[in-house]
Homo-oligomer: A and B are copies of this chain.
Amino acid sequence: MASISTRCAFLFFKRCQIARGRQTLNVARRKMSIKILDIGTPIVALSDARRFISDCMVAVGTPREYGDILAENLIEADYRGHYSHGMNRLDMYVRDVQGGLCDPKAAPCIIKETPATAWVNGNNGLGAVVGIYCMDLAIEKAKKSGIGMVVVKESNHYGIAGKYSLQAMEQGLLGMSFTNTSPLMAPTRAKGSALGTNPLSLGAPAANGDSFVLDMATTAVAVGKIEIQKRKHEPIPEGWAQDESGNITMDAHVAYDAKRLMPLGGPELNSGYKGYGLGVLVEIFCGMLGGSAYGPNIRKWGDSSKKADLGQCFIAIDPGCFAPGFPERLSDFMGFLRNMEPADPAKPVLVPGDPERLHMASVDEAGGVRYVQDQLDTCKSLAESLKVKPLIPT
């Protein structure tokens, strides 16, 4: 939410929300595109970025259909501004397939089901392929029963959790998704880590194409934010991470090496145990219900010695089964929130999903995404080693 925070972008976005006029929106987009994307590297069209990902995956034995699904998943993350989960992850997926840790041809299958639930085996396929299958199943069940809940075992990293909420929202439904991940969070009071960043997402459709999209890790921050402070040689705020002895640290270098993230809330005094509880909640919906690896049994981040065997959960809900007028009520409520008086006039009140909308508008305006040089270098190496047509900047 804080990744895009220029004064003019937010103020113009605020005007968009109030005016909702095409002209105002376009002015906002132009202003933002200057602020956000003018960093001096070439622009890559989304279509070419997708093509490149799919080509790379096909080169290591992935069926084209599945390569396209993964490409769509990763580029959605970049488009929404979540660069850590986009093109940045491609070489990891390629390595997992090359190392035999993930089967790029595998299709998920249902183990057992009711009209409203299903337990699925991901068969160690690509997480994006497994995820889209499971959410489709949850959607189908929600359309018949009002709610559908699908839990999968033997899955792999599935990208941004919000992707599956969006999938349900395209059908006019509420969507939720959860995944367990490699252990990085230290439970409240513990020295070591035992839970992942364990994200959860809820998406809900409002009126006139507006929407609420919450997509959050249950840790205070992701490792990437600590890495940025480390590079700048700046301290981290109290409440982000612990050192190896389990004490709160504000040293970014110590925090990065220890990899003991604190749960949302930070220290116990500030209710960090609630974030820890939410991390366990996600694990209950994933590893506990799904029968996959869980908690400390999940392979460490970067471990290439064993399969991920992740558990994931997908829920779709038909708002039509409850009080009529859901999208209108949600729009009214979000409008109220966005129009609240801010403590700092330069920082208007947003709702979850707004920062991503800002980023998408800027990408649309620029005609593509602008990757950092390090990312472009990785793509170049991948293109060469896999003998794939390289990314073509516009």
* Assembly CA distance A296 to B339 (angstroms): 13
Question: A146-B149, A264-B264, A281-B214 given as contacts; is B323 within 8 A of A240 (CB)?
Answer: no
Q: In the complex, which of the residues B1, B189, B343 contacts A347, with contact meaning CB atoms closer than 8 Å?
A: B189
A294: which B residues are within 8 A, CB to CB?
A: 329, 333
Contact (Cβ within 8 A) B284 A337: no
Question: A291-B323, A294-B329, A333-B283 given as contacts; is B190 within 8 A of A116 (CB)?
Answer: no
**Those of A314-328 within 8 Å (CB) of chain B:** 317-319, 321-326
A147: which B residues are within 8 A, CB to CB?
A: 116-117, 147, 149
A359 in the interface, Cβ–Cβ < 8 Å? no
A216 nearest in chain B by CB position: B274
A172 in the interface, Cβ–Cβ < 8 Å? no
Q: A-B pairs with the 6 shortest C-beta distances? A: A291-B323, A246-B343, A117-B146, A114-B146, A214-B277, A289-B322
Give the interface centre of A116, A266, A321, A350 by most chain B CB atoms within 10 Å: A116
A112: which B residues are within 8 A, CB to CB?
A: 321
A115 in the interface, Cβ–Cβ < 8 Å? yes
A227: which B residues are within 8 A, CB to CB?
A: none
* Assembly CA distance A337 to B193 (angstroms): 10
A149: which B residues are within 8 A, CB to CB?
A: 146-147, 317
A374 in the interface, Cβ–Cβ < 8 Å? no
Listed by A's residue number, 9 A-B pairs whose Cβ atoms lie within 8 Å are A189-B347, A202-B284, A204-B288, A214-B280, A239-B239, A280-B352, A289-B322, A290-B322, A290-B323
A239: which B residues are within 8 A, CB to CB?
A: 239, 266, 270
Contact (Cβ within 8 A) A337 B289: no
A221 nearest in chain B by CB position: B271
A193 nearest in chain B by CB position: B340
Give the number of times this chain occurs in the complex, counting copies.
Answer: 2
Contact (Cβ within 8 A) A329 B237: no
A242 in the interface, Cβ–Cβ < 8 Å? yes
A321: which B residues are within 8 A, CB to CB?
A: 112-114, 117, 119
A349 in the interface, Cβ–Cβ < 8 Å? yes
* Assembly CA distance A302 to B394 (angstroms): 61
Contact (Cβ within 8 A) A189 B280: no
A295 in the interface, Cβ–Cβ < 8 Å? yes
A161 to chain B, nearest CB (A): 13
Contact (Cβ within 8 A) A194 B337: yes
A69 in the interface, Cβ–Cβ < 8 Å? no
* Assembly CA distance A254 to B153 (angstroms): 50
Contact (Cβ within 8 A) A289 B115: no
A221: which B residues are within 8 A, CB to CB?
A: 271
Give the interface centre of A1, A117, A204, A323 by most chain B CB atoms within 10 Å: A323
A5 nearest in chain B by CB position: B268
A277: which B residues are within 8 A, CB to CB?
A: 214, 216, 352
